[in-house]
Amino acid sequence: MADVRPVRGTAGFTLIELIAVMAIGAILATVVWRNLATPLRGFADVNRRAALVATANLAALRITRELRLALPNSVRVNADGSALEFLQTTGIGRYRRESDPADATHDALDLSRTSDRFDVLGPWPLSNSVTAGTGGAAACMRGEGDCVTIYNTGNPQDCTAQPPGTRTSAWCGDNLAQIARIDPAAGQLEIDRSDQATAWPTGSPAQRFYVIDTPVSYVCRGGELRRFAHYPIFPLQPEPPPVDGTPLASRVTACSFSYEAGSATRAGLVVIRLTVADANLDGVAEPLTILEQVHIPNSP
């Protein structure tokens, strides 16, 4: 019969020892987690808030930068403040008002004519991006070539309030002409508004003209802020414009624009309020609001 003896020297844990180790491990894990949780949560909060600040600031800076190029007295805001629109300029210059008797090659702008060619005074102020077209003022309002406008006072706000030919608002079209020909070498522009039945409403005391390439709109809708451009000039503000917009900011929970029109001697004021929000680790939305004020020169 074989000699069966217990094996000596084997090691193991008793149930009590295992429970004790698990309890100690849980206590240590709790202590470590409490020491690490707060810094980790703070790091996540800082990153989330920094992303919100960057989103809101970039949107406000984009709007501010483009508002600097707005045609004087062309800014308008819809009734609930959710949409901002203006006419974007690509150049500004001065036209010759009177002919030079000593030089017949110098052309002055005749405001009584519906189509004309004139000298641009001083250094050539327009970039190579300016485009010409055919069809007159109505064509440039449709976006077929750039427009020239003179002495835009923005009046009347309602284009039906005054008869055609008397309105000095580019949204109405009376003080617009299409660029028909560009001659930087000769320093001349040829403009066409032959589709208009009336002369220019008025000239500029400073002999100043602006070149418009497109309307621009910023619209808050559906939790987004979108930019719209390259669509026709409408007498009434479109909400939204009939083109695809480019997303500028997401997670938008509140957005409003307001505009206080200035005067020829006092700048207008656009106020932008933008609120973006993102959920924290507890699932609670944390909002961030920025306010930007932009002064708009309104001397036409």
Q: Calculate mean pLDDT across residues 87-105.
A: 86
Ranges of each domain in the chain: 52-85+215-296, 88-212
CB 153 within 8 A of CB 205: no
Q: How many of the other CB atoms lie within 10 Å of CB of 128?
A: 7
pLDDT in tens, 209-223: 999 999 999 999 999
Q: Calculate mean pLDDT across residues 177-199.
A: 93
CA distance 8 to 204: 111
Instruction: Give me the pLDDT at residue 6, please.
Output: 56
Q: What is the pTM of this model?
A: 0.83
Instruction: Give me the pLDDT at residue 19, please.
Output: 78
CA distance 240 to 237: 8
Q: What percent of the chain has pLDDT over 70?
A: 89
pLDDT in tens, 105-147: 679 999 999 899 999 999 999 988 899 999 999 999 999 999 9
Residue 188: helix, strand or coil by DSSP?
A: strand
pLDDT in tens, 105-114: 679 999 999 8
Q: Calculate mean pLDDT across residues 257-262.
A: 91
Average pLDDT, the chain: 88
Instruction: Give me the pLDDT at residue 24, please.
Output: 79
Q: How many of the other CB atoms lie within 10 Å of CB of 187?
A: 18
Instruction: Give me the pLDDT at residue 205, please.
Output: 94
CA distance 235 to 238: 9
DSSP, res 70: B
pLDDT in tens, 148-172: 999 999 999 999 999 999 999 999 9
pLDDT in tens, 22-79: 877 777 777 766 665 566 566 566 677 888 888 899 999 999 999 999 999 999 999 9
